[in-house]
A and B are shown apart, each in its own frame.
Chain A
Amino acid sequence: MLTLKKITKIFNQGTQDEKRALDNFSLEVAKSDFITIIGSNGAGKTTLLNAIAGTIAPDDGQLIVHGQDVTRWPDFKMARYISRVFQSPTMGTAGEMTIEENLCMAELRGKKRGLKWGVTGNRRTRYKEILKVLDLGLEDRLKQSVGMLSGGQRQSLTLLMTTLALPRVLLLDEHTAALDPRTAAKVMDLTDSMVRENKLTTLMVTHNMNQALKYGNRMVMLHQGKVQLDIQGEEKKKMTVAEIIAEFGQTLKDETLLSA
């Protein structure tokens, strides 16, 4: 489904601050894989998602989605295949626009946008039905601006928006990190059920090691722009936080990661 071949991204090349965020990075993602990605700060997690989403262009290497070379595609073109949920709830929605307008824009992700009316009666009826799934009462607030919602509501809405036009690959960039623990757990449950229900190919970056082990069928640990650990299936299920720390504690001197 998604192939990264020897991707390299160097920031500040040729200066003292030179940083190899991704170093000859290769990864083969199978259809319906749900991969959790961990690693200390600066390991290259966000750069990896940015490279896949087309937000940054890699210096070297190849990115292939479903057999098509998309290495040089800009972010707005990658939107055809990829959907992304960001860490901050404010980043995934347009706060001054209404709930139904946000849903409409998401439904048209990667499609041609013309001069047809946006939120039609048909769409509104459908959005009402879909919003009931969230059980947040948003179905009665279609015309309210998204800025009025709480962080958790907004992040749940963003998740729902990604499923309106199913992506080939879903990228989750620490999407529960900015929420309080209880809301984070609810949003994570919602994520899990949506990914399973739609068999979405998903890459989820997280700082929370319990989350990384609990969800998904595969876990990848990054270190200095390379894959340090790649486990899946039974091997992943048997893995514990303690084991990871025992083995990789030296490279994972990241407090946020260990405290989780």
Chain B
Amino acid sequence: MLYIIPISLEQGLAYALVALGIALTFRILAFPDLTVDGSFPLGGAVAARLIFDGVDPVTSTVIAMAAGFIAGCLTGIFATKFKINSLLAGILMMTILYSVNLRIMGRANIPLLNRATLFTTIENWDMSRDIPVIIFFLVVAALCKLLIDVFLHTEYGLALRATGDNEQMIRSLGVNTDTATIFGLGLSNTMVALAGALIAQDQGFSDVGMGIGMIVAGLASIIIGEALFKPTTVVRLTFAAVLGSVVYRFIISLGMRLGLAPTDLKMATGLMVVIALAIPAIRGKREKKLKLRGV
């Protein structure tokens, strides 16, 4: 049973970037951004295509992040400038990205065998790749968490948080909340695309379907994290997202060990989120669930 720990840690820390991105939109901006299911494979597609074509892995990963930023900004523009319902704006972008990702890759799947990725150096070391890869993802997740923490305490970061908390108030204090929303979505999807790029390199291929269910898995992670670690501050919220992601992957690995079919995974995750959201309602408490702005 112990051997599920390294794989859960590796995946949990890798997907923590997605959970952080979702925490930023759903929790901080109060914007239910569904772009994630498209921007995650977008990151994978861009990175894989570039690496496949011989571009060095660092440059490829940075370009993948930029692509995620643009995708997020576009969803933000749909929602704020075109006044499209925020859920629909994300669904539209996710759908558009499906075709875009196929265009970028030129086919449904790009293998990265015999190509130099960010993990090639690690793989050349004379030891098991497990621990170095876990440390790599731990450092990346910690860096992203810290950067978000710092950003959300800067002057503009405060304005971004207020945009999700009390939009009218921060507008009356001189902040263009449309711009703040667009930028926040861009930032969130940058992290999601980074996750896609890193995971594609880690697993050695990029697939057009790798983003399906990403939002629900991210939400499940956040809900678990928040249950374990009350998110009273931004610093605690981002920690809860990372922690939740690891615990979620651990639960999933455990479930599979105990006979859960991989094909039932998304149903199990979906039901987990439904139950978590239903508990307050069933108990009859007026607890705050997901606050959604502009729905």
Contact = CB atoms under 8 A, between A and B. Distances in A.
B57 to A, nearest CB: 28
Contacts of B174: 76-77, 79-80, 108-111
A69 interface: no
A105 B159 contact: yes
A60 interface: no
Contact of A95 (B151, B154, B165, B168): B165
A92 B155 CA distance: 18
Nearest to A85: B172
A116 B154 contact: yes
A96 B155 contact: no
B268 to A, nearest CB: 32
Given A108-B174, A109-B174, A94 B165 contact: yes
A216 B1 CA distance: 76
Question: Which has the most chain A C-beta neighbours within 10 Å: B155, B162, B177?
Answer: B155
A76 B175 contact: yes
Question: Which has the most chain B C-beta neighbours within 10 Å: A76, A77, A110?
Answer: A76
A35 interface: no
A94 B165 CA distance: 6
A101 B166 CA distance: 13
Given A79-B174, A110-B174, A118-B153, A101 B158 contact: yes
A174 to B, nearest CB: 16
Interface string B147-191: 000010111111101100110111111111100000000000000
Contacts of A101: 158, 161
Contact of B165 (A92, A96, A104): A96
Interface of A: 53, 74-77, 79-80, 83-84, 86, 90-97, 101, 104-106, 108-111, 113-119
Contacts of A118: 153-155, 157-158
Rank and list the top 9 A-B pairs by shortest CB-CB distance, nearest first. A79-B174, A113-B155, A94-B165, A110-B174, A109-B173, A94-B166, A94-B162, A113-B156, A118-B158
Contacts of B168: 86, 91
22 contacts: A74-B176, A76-B172, A76-B177, A79-B171, A79-B172, A79-B174, A84-B172, A91-B169, A94-B169, A96-B165, A101-B158, A104-B155, A105-B159, A106-B173, A110-B173, A111-B174, A113-B159, A114-B154, A114-B155, A115-B157, A117-B154, A118-B154
Contacts of A105: 158-159, 162, 170, 173
B127 to A, nearest CB: 40
A139 to B, nearest CB: 20
B81 to A, nearest CB: 13
Contacts of B159: 105, 113
Contact of B156 (A84, A86, A115): A115
Question: Which has the most chain B C-beta neighbours within 10 Å: A75, A77, A83, A90?
Answer: A75
Contacts of B162: 94, 97, 105
Contacts of A96: 161, 165
Contacts of A92: 169
Nearest to A79: B174
A109 B170 CA distance: 9
A197 to B, nearest CB: 22
Interface in B132-159: 151, 153-159
Contact of A115 (B155, B161, B170): B155
B161 A94 contact: yes
Contacts of B177: 76
Contacts of B153: 117-119
A1 B136 CA distance: 60
A230 to B, nearest CB: 27
A96 B166 CA distance: 9
